[in-house]
Amino acid sequence: MSISVRATEAEVTAAIAGLPRMLAGTNADVGGVARGLQLRIGVTLLSQIQQAFIAKARGGVGSDGIKWKPMKPASIAARRITGAEKKAAGVAGKRTRGLLTPAQDKRWRMLFATRKAWLMAKGMGAGEASGVAAAVAWKTLKSEGAQTRLSVFGNRTVEMVRDTGKIFRSLSPGVEDRPYKGKDSDQQVFEVPTGKVIVGTRVPYASRQHAMRPFWPERIPAVWWDAIKKSLARGLALVMRQYLSGRAS
132 and 176 Cβ atoms separated by less than 8 Å: no
How would residue 25 be classed by pLDDT, with cut points 50, 70 and 90?
low
Please compute the mean of the pLDDT values over residues 149-169 and round it to a whole number: 92
How would residue 23 be classed by pLDDT, with cut points 50, 70 and 90?
low
Report the distance separating Cα 189 and Cα 171, nearest Å. 8
Categorise residue 156: left if φ over 0, alpha if ψ from -120 to 50, beta otherwise: beta
Choice among 17-26, 51-60, 92-101 with the minimum mean pLDDT: 17-26
| Mean pLDDT estimate for the chain | 87
pLDDT digits (tens, 9 = 90+) for 174-198: 999 899 999 999 999 999 988 789 9
pTM to 2 decimal places:
0.76
SS3 content of the chain, % helix, strand, coil (to 5): 55, 5, 40
pLDDT at 98: 82
pLDDT at 26: 66
Please compute the mean of the pLDDT values over residues 96-125 and round it to a whole number: 94
Report the distance separating Cα 131 and Cα 137, nearest Å. 10
pLDDT at 238: 79
Length of the chain (residues): 249
- DSSP H or E run through 33: helix 33-57
- DSSP H or E run through 190: strand 188-191
Report the distance separating Cα 150 and Cα 135, nearest Å. 14
Task: Measure Cα distances from 65 to 11, 55, 176, 188, 217 in Å.
Answer: 44, 10, 25, 23, 8
Domain ranges of the chain: 9-71+160-245, 73-153
